[in-house]
Structures are given as structure tokens and as C-alpha cells.
Structure 1
Amino acid sequence: MGRTGEDTVAFIGIILGIFSSLFSIFIGDFEYGSGSINLYSIIGYTGIFSAIVGVYGYIRAKRAHKEAGILMILSAIGMFICCRSMIPFYLFSTLALLIGGFYNIFGKKA
């Protein structure tokens, strides 16, 4: 049996993370226009970087399962750091990447 399910869960987490990051960057730009501190843009760029790490893990999942799982878990940790400031937006992407990462590390080899 292949790893289609866990790769799909990780891909959904990556997409949710990218959308959440773009949303927080939009909020940060809106707050910057009103004269507030631009914290949400920093959170958004951190989320984008974490999503890029997750994409690299997703690409590596076909050849190196454990390396891909570790990269997905690192991406989930980065999104969890973003989640502490904007809880509802990054929580689902964090959980999806954690599930995909742990399945890639501990799942059966195809």
C-alpha cells in the first residue's frame, strides 16, 4: 500500500498554511496602514517559510520517507509558533503536517 493518504494530508496542511500566511500578511498590511505595529506580517512570513519547508518535505516523501517526515514536523513546529499568535488559522495546518510527518516516519514502507 502506498503513502497517498499521508501525502495528501500533508499537502492539505501546506495549502492551509499558505492561505493562513497570506491572510495574516494581508492583516499586517492593513494594520500598518492604520499605524499599528506590524506583527502579523512577520507571522505571515514565518508561516510562508514553514510552508516552503513543508513543500520540500512533500517533494522528498517519494524517496526519503524519514527525512520528509522530519521536514514536515519542523514545518509544523514553525506553524505552531505562528499559531500561538493567531490560533484558529494555523491550527489545522499544524495538525495536518504533524499527521503527515509522523506517518512518513513511522508508517509502513511502500
Structure 2
Amino acid sequence: MSRTTEFVLGLLGGIIGVFAAFFALLIGGVDAAFSSDGSSDITGLGWFAIIFSIVGIVGASMVKGKTRLAGILMIISAIGGLISISMFYLVSAILLLIAGLMAVFKKNKKATT
């Protein structure tokens, strides 16, 4: 069965998540520049969001071979990224969550010959 929908949604979610994480890193850098101690928690959370986005992209690339594992990876990526950088990751989390749930719960049709 073709899993093109899950692949495309997961890939888009991961790519948008990487851009959102870089935006969070930018905000964290500005916050660190203006803070009194020269550091920011947002920067660390942005790096975690990049890791979760990469996990989502890996899950999307695995969706045609190991469907359930790929779905679980995309769901973990959606939840982890949303916890990391909240609203920056919202669009990406929605895409990854839909793709992950489709990969986990969609049944394969048997080919008739």
C-alpha cells in the first residue's frame, strides 16, 4: 500500500519544524544578548526542537518500510517539539501528529491477484 500521504505530511512537518527551531534559536540568541547573565533557556529548547524535527524526518523516511515504528517516531517528534518550543512548533506538530496517527492506525489492504 502506498504511504505517500504520511510521507509527505511527515516530511513537511519535519522541515517546517527545523525552520521553527532555527527561529526559536534566533529569539534565544536575542534573549541571551539582552539578559544579565548572557544565557537563555530558549536556545537549549531550540536545539531540542531541531533534534525532534530530525527524528520526525527520519520517521517520515521510514514510513514505507516500518510503518508503525515510523508513526511512533513522528508522534514523539510532534509532542516533544511542541513541549520544547510551544507555539513556534504548532504547525509542524499538527502535521507530524496527523502523519504519525495515520501511519499507526491505517490498515494495509491486501493485494488480490
TM-score under structure 1 length normalisation:
0.88
Counterpart code for 2:22:
L
RMSD between aligned residues:
1.5
| Residue matched to 1:62 | 64
Once superposed, which parts of structure 1, at least 4 consecutive aligned residues long, lie more than 6 Å away?
none
| Residue matched to 1:44 | 46
Query: In the superposition, relative to structure 1, how do residues 83 and 41 fare at CA in structure 2: closer, same or farther (>3 Å)?
Result: closer
Give the deviation of 1:12 after TM superposition: 1.0
Give the deviation of 1:108 after TM superposition: 3.0
| Residue matched to 1:94 | 93
Give the deviation of 1:77 after TM superposition: 1.1
Rounded to whole Å, the distance in 1 between the matches of 2:50 and 2:19 is 9
Q: Indicate the structure (1 or 2) with the bigger Cα radius of gyration.
A: 2
Give the deviation of 1:29 after TM superposition: 0.9
TM-score under structure 2 length normalisation:
0.86
- 8 Å CA contact 2:6, 2:63 repeated in 1: no
1:15 paired to 2:9: no
Rounded to whole Å, the distance in 2 between the matches of 1:95 and 1:2 is 21
Give the deviation of 1:42 after TM superposition: 1.4
- 8 Å CA contact 2:2, 2:64 repeated in 1: no
Percent of residue pairs bearing the same amino acid type? 37
Aligned length: 107
Q: Which runs of no fewer than 5 residues in structure 1 stay unpaired?
A: none
- 8 Å CA contact 2:6, 2:60 repeated in 1: no
Rounded to whole Å, the distance in 2 between the matches of 1:43 and 1:55 is 18
Rounded to whole Å, the distance in 2 between the matches of 1:76 and 1:52 is 11
Rounded to whole Å, the distance in 1 between the matches of 2:95 and 2:106 is 15
